[in-house]
């Protein structure tokens, strides 16, 4: 059992390296070999750690999806933090600090609050009832078909999020190592799919511990070199503060709508903030960790602790954004980044020694790997447990469900990879999917857990109302015209908080329709007995 994972990882390392040599000769591109070899070594290490986790924790479907509900607090805490602090979180924090200011860098504090609120109000109850996926309480309350319908926005969120962060990694690898965008994405996707298939949640959890450690080391190594080029932290921060004086606070002014600088943007800011805080809860990728905890107290505290660590993890990329803001790019023989989304890559490439930039890239790749693998397993777990089992084969055995999970991992992984390769609009699709999760899934999940009167009539009505109000506002980036003309629209941008309006309207609809149809469709209570497969 020791040598099989080792030999497989070693073989993968040799194959990938050989392919890179052939690619370099064929494309006549200059590749930064130390960085490439370091990245390949990390990828093979992740695969080996995942394979070892399988050998140690062999089991049934519960092991694949929720790690046998025996994951200790320290591993759970690391894997929950690593799930949120992925490549998108790191790159996005640096991007918004650099391009928009601290006030628009909502992710760190919003995601932290999301994890804390999730731990207090959702984690304990979900773990106490021993559900297997996030869709289980929806299936209990609203039926199998309604749960299958609600799987669609959950799947879209996981799918396009995976594609978006693969795209970010492909861009970074292309700039630093010289590999093509497509090759970089395929490398990463193959490894993520591989160790997700072989090990499930145990493999992901063990590699998460390694990945988040590498990520922190890589980012911290960058800081002294980056600030050394701009006169130190104090000088860079003072320059940043003087340039971003209207955007240096975490929150907008209390009466911001009366402030000429803010105006209608005030309501837009709060709409996005609520989306991040409450829309960050109804994700299977989150509840997979919660439901793997040993008990409900561990589930709550791992979420709260991860929320604190999540905020701390934003400090290094935020500082990198500040260092990049002060940089004189002409002195490095290049021009300023074309887009603020490239700032992290530019700092790695031009403001650090090559080997440090390669290590930092390895940390970013590690963060992306963990996030993609977790997302693939989350989407596949729901497909197996909440679609295939109840709607296709109710008497499926654990072995059959595992096969479905593994096959779905491949399907979702390949789909996300293809989208990432053709990724001109992935970010906007991911954003729309996040909207749908906030507008549709948050009120549905909250109602299922806390309101005894709800039924599937109310659920379906709330789904339709929330979907119409959200899509009705249009999406210029996707070419969707506005059917509903909301107020506070300026230059094609809707500043009216219609996302939160759609969420609240859907929630009220669930409760009202359920109340008036309670005699025709009596509410079904949540069961305190987990569904078992034979």
Domain co-membership, 361 together with 480: no
Q: What is the distance between the alpha carbons of residues 324 and 304, in angstroms, rounded to a whole number?
A: 32
Question: Can you read off the two tokens belonging to residue 64?
Answer: 């694949």
pLDDT in tens, 302-361: 899 999 999 999 999 999 999 999 999 999 988 988 878 788 888 988 999 888 887 887
* DSSP annotation string for 274-293: HHHHHHTSS-HHHHHHHHTB
| pLDDT band at residue 10 under the 50/70/90 scheme | low
pLDDT class of 363 with cuts at 50, 70, 90: confident
| pLDDT tens by residue, 481-515 | 788 989 998 877 889 999 999 999 999 999 999 99
Q: Do 477 and 407 fall into the same domain?
A: no
| CA–CA distances in Å: residue 298 to residues 124, 386, 436 | 9, 25, 30
CB neighbours of residue 523 within 10 Å? 17
pLDDT recorded at residue 61:
45
Within 10 angstroms of residue 318's Cβ, the number of other Cβ atoms is 19
298 & 395 share domain: yes
**What's the DSSP call for residue 335?**
P
Helices (H), 280-353: 284-291, 296-313, 315-326, 343-350
* Nearby residues of 104 by Cβ (< 8 Å), 6 or more positions away: 96, 247, 269
Going by pLDDT thresholds of 50, 70 and 90, the confidence category of residue 533 is very low
Looking at the structure, tell me whether residues 360 and 257 fall in a common domain.
yes
More confident residue, 125 or 284: 125
| Three state DSSP letters for 1-22 | CCHHHHHHHHHHHHHHHHHHHH
445: in domain: no
Q: Are residues 137 and 180 in the same domain?
A: yes
Look at residues 394, 404, 308, 343 and name the one whose alpha carbon lies nearest to residue 84: 308
Q: By the 8 A CB rule, do 169 and 185 touch?
A: yes
Sequence-ordered list of residues with C-beta below 8 angstroms from that of 451, at least 6 positions apart, any chain: 510, 511, 514
Mean pLDDT (the chain, rounded): 81
- The total of structural domains in the chain comes to 2
**Distance from C-alpha of 106 to C-alpha of 239, rounded to nearest angstrom:** 22
Helix-strand-coil split of the chain, %, nearest 5: 75, 0, 20
Question: Could you tell me if 375 and 304 lie in one domain?
Answer: yes
Please tell me the predicted confidence (pLDDT) of residue 528. 56
Q: CATH no. for residue 216?
A: 1.20.1730.10
Region 222-236: mean pLDDT is 95
Instruction: Specify if 494 maps to a domain.
Output: yes
Higher pLDDT pick, 52 / 305: 305
- Same domain for 95 and 210, yes or no, is yes
The Cα–Cα gap between 459 and 133 comes to 18
Burial class (CB in 10 A: 0-12, 13-18, 19+), 111: buried
Q: Confidence class of residue 259 from pLDDT cuts 50, 70 and 90?
A: confident
The answer to the question of residue 437 being in a domain is no
368 shares a domain with 469: no
Residue 386, domain extent: 3-326+336-430
Give first-to-last CA distance, the chain, whole Å: 29
Residue 501 lies in a domain: yes
Give 31's contacts (C-beta < 8 A, 6+ positions apart). 20, 23, 24, 177, 178, 179
Q: Is residue 528 part of a domain?
A: no
User: Is residue 165 located within the same domain as residue 232?
Assistant: yes
Can you give the pLDDT at residue 120?
94
What distance in Å separates the CA atoms of residue 178 and residue 91, rounded to the nearest whole number? 19
H or E segment and range at residue 359: helix 354-382
> pLDDT digit string (tens) for 96-152?
999 989 999 998 999 999 999 999 999 999 999 988 888 999 999 999 999 989 988
Residue 316 maps to a domain: yes
Higher pLDDT, 446 or 473: 446
Question: At residue 328, what are phi and psi to the nearest 5 degrees?
Answer: -95, 95
Tokens of 266: 């005030």
| Structural domain includes residue 529 | no
The answer to whether residues 372 and 207 touch, using CB atoms and an 8 Å cutoff, is no
Phi-psi region of 259 (alpha: psi -120 to 50; beta: other; left: phi over 0): beta
Long-range contacts of 252-260 (CB under 8 A, 24+ apart): 252/103
- Residues 171, 240 share a domain: yes
Helix axes 181-228, 398-421, angle to 10 degrees: 70
For the segment 295-300, the average pLDDT, to the nearest whole number, is 89
Domain boundary among 391, 414, 430: 430
Find the radius of gyration of the CA atoms of the chain. Answer: 23
Tell me, yes or no, whether 294 lies in a domain.
yes
Instruction: Tell me: do 234 and 304 sit in the same domain.
Output: yes
Nearest alpha-carbon partner for 95 in 328, 244, 317, 385: 317
- Reference 533, options 365, 360, 403, 366; nearest CA is 403
Residues 352 and 500 reside in one and the same domain = no
The lowest-confidence range among 10-19, 46-55, 167-176 is 10-19
| Lowest-pLDDT range of 231-245, 374-388, 404-418 | 374-388
């Amino acid at each position: 059992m020791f040598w099989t994972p080792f030999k497989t990882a070693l073989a993968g390392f040799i194959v990938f390296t050989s392919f890179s040599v052939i690619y370099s000769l064929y494309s006549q591109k200059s590749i930064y070999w130390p960085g490439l070899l370091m990245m390949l070594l990390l990828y093979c290490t992740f695969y080996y750690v995942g394979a070892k986790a399988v050998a140690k924790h062999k089991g049934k479907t519960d092991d694949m999806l929720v790690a046998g509900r025996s994951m200790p607090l320290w591993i759970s805490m690391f894997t929950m933090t690593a799930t949120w602090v992925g490549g998108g979180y790191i790159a996005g924090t640096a991007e918004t600090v650099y391009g928009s200011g601290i006030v628009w860098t909502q992710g760190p504090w919003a995601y932290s609050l999301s994890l804390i609120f999730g731990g207090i109000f959702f984690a304990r109850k979900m773990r106490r009832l021993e559900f297997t996926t996030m869709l289980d309480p929806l299936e209990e309350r609203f039926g199998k078909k309604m749960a299958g319908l609600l799987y669609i926005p959950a799947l879209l969120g996981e799918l396009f999020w995976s594609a978006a962060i693969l795209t970010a990694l492909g861009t970074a690898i292309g700039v630093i190592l010289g590999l093509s965008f497509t090759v970089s994405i395929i490398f990463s996707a193959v490894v993520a799919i591989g160790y997700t298939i072989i090990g499930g949640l145990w493999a992901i959890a063990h590699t998460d511990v390694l990945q988040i450690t590498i990520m922190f080391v890589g980012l911290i190594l960058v800081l002294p070199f980056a600030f050394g080029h701009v006169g130190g932290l104090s000088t860079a921060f003072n320059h940043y503060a003087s340039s971003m004086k209207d955007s240096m606070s975490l929150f907008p002014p209390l009466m911001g709508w009366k402030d000429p600088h803010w105006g209608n943007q005030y309501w837009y800011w709060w709409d996005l903030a609520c989306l991040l805080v409450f829309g960050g809860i109804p994700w299977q990728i989150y509840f997979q960790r919660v439901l793997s905890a040993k008990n409900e107290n561990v589930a709550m505290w791992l979420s709260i602790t991860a929320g604190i660590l999540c905020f701390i993890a934003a400090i290094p990329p935020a500082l990198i954004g500040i260092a990049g803001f002060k940089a004189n790019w002409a002195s490095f023989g290049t021009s300023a980044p074309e887009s603020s989304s490239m700032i992290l890559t530019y700092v790695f490439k031009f403001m650090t020694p090559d080997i440090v930039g390669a290590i930092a890239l390895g940390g970013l790749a590690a963060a992306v790997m963990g996030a993609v693998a977790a997302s693939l397993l989350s989407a596949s777990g729901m497909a197996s447990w909440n679609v295939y089992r109840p709607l296709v084969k109710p008497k499926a055995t654990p072995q059959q469900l595992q096969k479905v999970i593994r096959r779905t991992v491949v399907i979702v992984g390949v789909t996300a990879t293809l989208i990432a390769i053709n990724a001109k609009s992935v970010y906007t699709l991911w954003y729309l999917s996040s909207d749908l999760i906030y507008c549709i899934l948050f009120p549905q999940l909250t109602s299922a857990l806390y309101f005894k009167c709800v039924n599937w009539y109310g659920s379906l009505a709330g789904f339709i109302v929330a979907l119409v109000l959200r899509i009705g506002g249009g999406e210029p980036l996707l070419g969707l015209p506005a059917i509903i003309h909301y107020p506070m629209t300026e230059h094609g941008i809707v500043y009216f908080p219609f996302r939160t309006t759609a969420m609240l309207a859907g929630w009220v609809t669930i409760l009202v329709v359920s109340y008036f149809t309670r005699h025709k469709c009596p509410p079904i209570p949540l069961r305190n007995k987990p569904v078992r497969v034979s």
